[in-house]
Structure 1
Amino acid sequence: MSHNLSPQAAGAAADVTRDAVLTVRDLNVVYQGATPVHAVKDVSLTLHRGEILGLAGESGCGKSTLAYAVNRLHDWPAEVTSGSVTFHDRDGEDLDLLALPPGRLRRFRWSKLSMVFQGAMNALNPVTTVRAQLEDVLTTHRPGMSKQERGARCAEVLELVGVEPRRMASYPHELSGGMRQRVMIAMALLLDPQVMIMDEPTTALDVLVQRGILREILRLRDELGFAVVFITHDLPLLLELSDRIAVMLRGEIVEYDTAETLYRQPRHPYTRRLLDSFPSLTGERGAFLRDGAADRTQVPTDGGAR
């Protein structure tokens, strides 16, 4: 099975069926209206078990639209017009996610594939305790669990993400931004999913908190074996975190390769521009623009403007 990718995006197309857990083929999503917007165009991706697949691109390029389409969370006017999304369960069953009936889809979400939404730091209910919100997931999807079992499971996942179980009695406003984000990740882990989609999970967090959460994601992936689709505009972050990276531009995957190859040998001009947009912390001082032309004069040591 091969990817329908542009020549620039063909780098990781080989061996796409090896231990795959999720495959997306020729997916198209259109926002219908007087002037339809083709937000996702013929996207094909494969996620392997235990892999972290990064999805990079500027705001508005279709990253979140793709994630919502995979999880069938779109409402009208968004419409999947063609393509397929297949989940390869551990038990050997292949599920066509775009064709699952509502009841089966409801049971599938969170238990097989969970999602940490963009802006998740503020997604918790402000008038309900952390315990009540975590237990609600278990009550819905694991109705046979006792109250004691639910409490033990909630405490377990909070500990996994570095939050003390006593915080279950807290309300969201009593937690820091980093702790709220960790609670959302714990919620996504409650049912031991095989795939987790994380849409900008570290947005609005300071660098130190972001670093701590990324370490937790890597540790949990190694410990629990789930696969991750990590969505962000921050390409350098993905180079450090991901096994493979797909670069998205105007709804299309324009480059798709291992993180190392994409860093050392980027093929698409947009990928090169993304890499060049982040300054080096160790390199020599470079030129900066003045009156639209490159100026080779060094930046003043006092930080003043020229």
Structure 2
Amino acid sequence: MTDLGDRPVSDARAPESLSERAAEARTHPVLTIDDFSVEYKGDRVVKAVRNVSLTLGRGEILGLAGESGCGKSTLAYGINRLLKPPAVITGGSAHFHSREGYVIDLNELGGEELRAFRWDKIAMVFQGAMNSLNPVITIQRQMEDIFSTHRPDMSRKDRRMRCGDLLERVGVDRARLRSFPHELSGGMRQRVMIAMAMALDPQVMIMDEPTTALDVVVQREILREITRLRAALGFAVIFITHDLPLLLEISDRIAVMREGEIVELGDAVELYTNPRHEYTRKLLASFPSLTGERGDFIRSGSHAQNGELV
């Protein structure tokens, strides 16, 4: 199996500017979502996602922002076909555009095809992921399980080597393979989950609140790792959070979601400097500042360049 560092990324090279990335999303999509809707059936029907249309470009970081309960996670679960009753996809479609040149209708997948697709093409880091590791199984066994399930022809030696390489890729010593989750800090457990999501070289990573419950120093380290890995490996990211200032630092484009709908979608810098929707303006104004006017939050840069936060 090809090592992560050896993968050709000529077709997934991150464009040099935000405007180029926006154009890349239109001309070289990796994921297209059209008129997608999800409802929770019950005594009262809840329309959690309403007619959402998005295009994710190859190598792009697309931020998905909005308050709790607006439908962000439901949309992510719907794309990955992870919804459970009473949630039902009531309309629309999601198509994956592989770098190999074929298109997959995600609504048509089922059974073994769907199970094989999830880690191989689209991987997901779940909300509260750092607490998702099995507490009584070592990190090595949990990581090797991915390869034994999806790459059954790999030898035990190759699986172990690959797991160590993945940990080092996210800044964790490979000796930690022998550790149990409780022996790792919260930031290290989160890095392990990101390494597991990268295991099969996916073309899309969906990250649902990946820095929740981490302190600000560890949060910034995780964000640096995400932007560095995206630049090096060329995968696209849907980054879900309620923290709009955080998205402004790392995203190429941002979609703002409210009550199940996308109310604004645009270039991250443009959205910050010239928000068009009243709800976006309220979100920006809601964050306190260390100095200056309310909402005028201070940060060292507005987006990532060459895989690093600036």
**Paired AA for residue 97 in structure 2:** H
Aligned to 1:258: 267
- Matched residues in 1 for 2:63 and 2:217: separation? 21
Give deviations 1:53-80, integer Å, cap 9, x for gaps. Answer: 0000000000000000000001111000
Look up the match of 1:190: 199
Structure 1 position 281, deviation (Å): 2.6
**What does residue 109 of structure 1 align with?**
118
Give, in whole Å, the separation in 2 of the partners of 1:14 and 1:43: 20
Q: 2:72 aligns with which of 63, 67, 70?
A: 63
Alignment of 1:21-170 (within 5 A): 21-170=30-179
Q: Is the 8 A contact 2:22 2:57 kept in 1?
A: no
Q: How far apart are 1:13 and its partner, in Å? A: 9.2
Once residues 264 and 285 of structure 1 are traced to their aligned partners in structure 2, the CA distance between those partners, rounded to angstroms, is 15
Equivalences for residues 277-296 of structure 1 within 5 A:
277-283=286-292
Letter of the aligned partner of 1:143 in structure 2?
P
SS of aligned partner of 1:109: helix
What is the one-letter code of the residue matched to 1:213? I
For the residue of structure 1 that corresponds to 2:197, the secondary structure is: helix
> Cα gap change, 1:163/1:15 in structure 2, threshold over 3 Å: closer, same or farther?
closer
8 Å CA contact 2:287–2:294 kept in 1: the answer is: no
Partner of 1:178: 187
SS in 2 for 1:95: strand
SS in 1 for 2:120: coil
Q: Could you tell me the TM-score, scaled by structure 1's length?
A: 0.88
CA gap of 1:132–1:15, structure 2 versus 1, over 3 A, is: closer
Residue in 1 that maps onto 2:242 = 233
Displacement after TM superposition at 1:280 (Å)? 2.2
Matched pairs, number: 275
Show structure 2 runs of 5+ residues with no match.
Answer: 1-20, 296-310
Q: Secondary structure in 2 aligned to 1:110?
A: helix
Q: Quick one: which of 269, 283, 293 aligns to 1:274?
A: 283
**Aligned-residue CA RMSD (Å):** 1.5
**Which entry has the higher C-alpha Rg, 1 or 2?**
1
TM-score by length of 2: 0.87
Q: What's the secondary structure of 1:105's corresponding residue? A: helix
Correspondence for 1:290: none
Task: Spell out, residue by residue over 1:80-111, the C-alpha distance to the aligned partner (whole angstroms, 9 max, x if none).
Answer: 01100000011111000011132111111111
- Percent identity among equivalent residues? 67
Could you tell me which amino acid in structure 1 is paired with residue 255 of structure 2?
A
Matched, 1:19 2:33: no
List structure 1 runs of 4+ shifted beyond 2 angstroms. Answer: 12-17
